[in-house]
Amino acid sequence: MLVYGANTRRKTGVRNAAVIALMWRSQLRIGETLDLRPCDYEGDRIRILHGKGSKSRVVGVDKNTKGLIDTWMLIRPKSDYLFCTMKGTKIDSSYYRRLFKKLQNGLGIVKRCHPHGMRHTGAFELAKENVPLILISQQLGHSNISTTDSYIRHLCPEEVVSVIKNREW
């Protein structure tokens, strides 16, 4: 079965689906995701101890992502890292950059796909769900709300064009 383009019949596919979901749905950076330790995962939340700028924060985890992570936890090898190779070693972020390119081509996606794009997409979706910008900013770990605003604004300029072009005179 494919979940987020990953073949979940394989252990690495289960892991990859959990990583992709976590970056997208919890708006984590790839480095934050791959640095996680099993003790950082608390089911409905994850503790980021060393985010960008060495800032720590707690982020929420939705039910579907939790299910993917819990499935991975049952089959993962013994490791210091939550997401690891099948030998238990740390995964290099370049693995996911290559995987995203492969998934993009395999799924016929025209627009460039990359791990950090999942973070932007997740933030935009939260905004579409009317989550207050300050909460989105906290989830992303931004110290300045204008950074969060720029994430959201650049993703859908079509909405601005649509609203303006349909205004009555």
Cα dihedral sign, 82-84-90-95 = negative
On whether the CB atoms of residues 65 and 21 are closer than 8 A, the answer is: yes
Q: Which residues are catalytic?
A: 29, 52, 116, 119, 142, 151
Tokens for 86, please give them.
């099948």
CA distance 19 to 83: 8
User: How would you write 102-115 as a 3-class SS string?
Assistant: HHHHHHCCCCCCCH
On whether the CB atoms of residues 52 and 141 are closer than 8 A, the answer is: yes
